[in-house]
């Protein structure tokens, strides 16, 4: 059934969805952008960077490259802490 231009057999969220992140409204909503490249994410990473050296993401590196490099070379205890922190920050963003 359709009234006007909206088909009522289709969920409304399909008409409302857009691929621009709500915080920066600049780039496509990809995992790499939301977790590393977004200006909001950069502020979050800069805020937590003071406690762990070299945890600040590099602008051009995708998440799959940056994350292992960020924890590599750390003692085991720091590695677990860094992995947990990265995971929690990404989930929170």
Model confidence at 65: pLDDT above 60:
yes
Mean pLDDT along residues 19-43:
72
If one compares 49 and 22, the residue with the highest pLDDT of the two is: 49
DSSP letter at 18?
-
Contact 17, 28 (CB under 8 A): no
Which residue in the block uniquely carries the two structure tokens 């952008």? 33
Which residue in the block uniquely carries the two structure tokens 């409302």? 16
Model confidence at 59: pLDDT above 50:
yes
- Model pLDDT, residue 52: 58
Alpha helices (H) along 1-93: 13-16, 31-32, 39-48, 63-71, 76-92
Between the two ends of the chain, the Cα-to-Cα distance in Å is 38
- Model pLDDT, residue 17: 54
Its pTM stands at 0.53
């Amino acid at each position: 059934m359709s009234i006007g231009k909206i088909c009522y057999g289709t969920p409304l969220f399909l008409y409302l969805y857009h691929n621009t992140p709500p915080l920066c409204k600049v780039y496509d909503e990809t995992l790499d952008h939301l977790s590393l490249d977004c200006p909001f994410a950069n502020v979050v990473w800069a805020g937590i960077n003071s406690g762990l050296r070299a945890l600040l993401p590099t602008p051009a590196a995708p998440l799959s490259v940056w994350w292992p490099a960020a924890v590599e070379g750390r003692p085991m205890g720091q590695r677990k802490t860094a992995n947990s922190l990265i995971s929690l920050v990404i989930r929170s963003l």
